[in-house]
Amino acid sequence: MKFILCTILIITSFSAVNAQEILGKWKTIDDETGEEKSVVEIYTSNGKYYGKIIKLFREPDQNPDPICDKCPSDDPRYKEKVIGMEIIKDLEKDGDEYVNGTVLKPDEGKIYKCKIWIEEDKLKIRGYWGWFYRTQTWLQVQ
């Protein structure tokens, strides 16, 4: 009986390590400048995954509480505050990746198709525009 319980415990622990989740708070890092930009909280609702900005890292000369004035005018986020804004929408878990969602880049007002995965305890987010893509690495906030 002890052997069975130990085996179940080991299998469960191993599965939990391999099934890394994207849920939680992640510090966004600009892939071109290496600068910290924001903290995004990723959460789940109705079986899909979403992310909202909960903090911005701003320079003293920048507006600390900007609005998305570059968002498409037909998007409900147009002229809304960036802090608290849902920028990742409708991701679905597919194996080790989260796919079929979109990501908004508020400073550009552009919406990209995206996918997310975990690699070496870092979150990788890839935004697609046609055949072109960019990948950022985000760091988990402790």
- For the chain, the domains span 21-140
pLDDT of 9 > 80? The answer is no
Tell me the pLDDT band of 31, cut-offs 50, 70 and 90: confident
This prediction has a pTM of 0.84
CATH of domain 21-140: 2.40.128.520
Residue 110: partners with Cβ closer than 8 Å, 6 or more residues away: 104, 129
Residue 21: partners with Cβ closer than 8 Å, 6 or more residues away: 118
Alpha-carbon distance of 101 to 113, in angstroms, equals: 6
136 and 124 Cβ atoms separated by less than 8 Å:
yes
pLDDT of 3 > 90? The answer is no
Mean pLDDT of 65-92: 97
pLDDT of 142 > 90? The answer is no
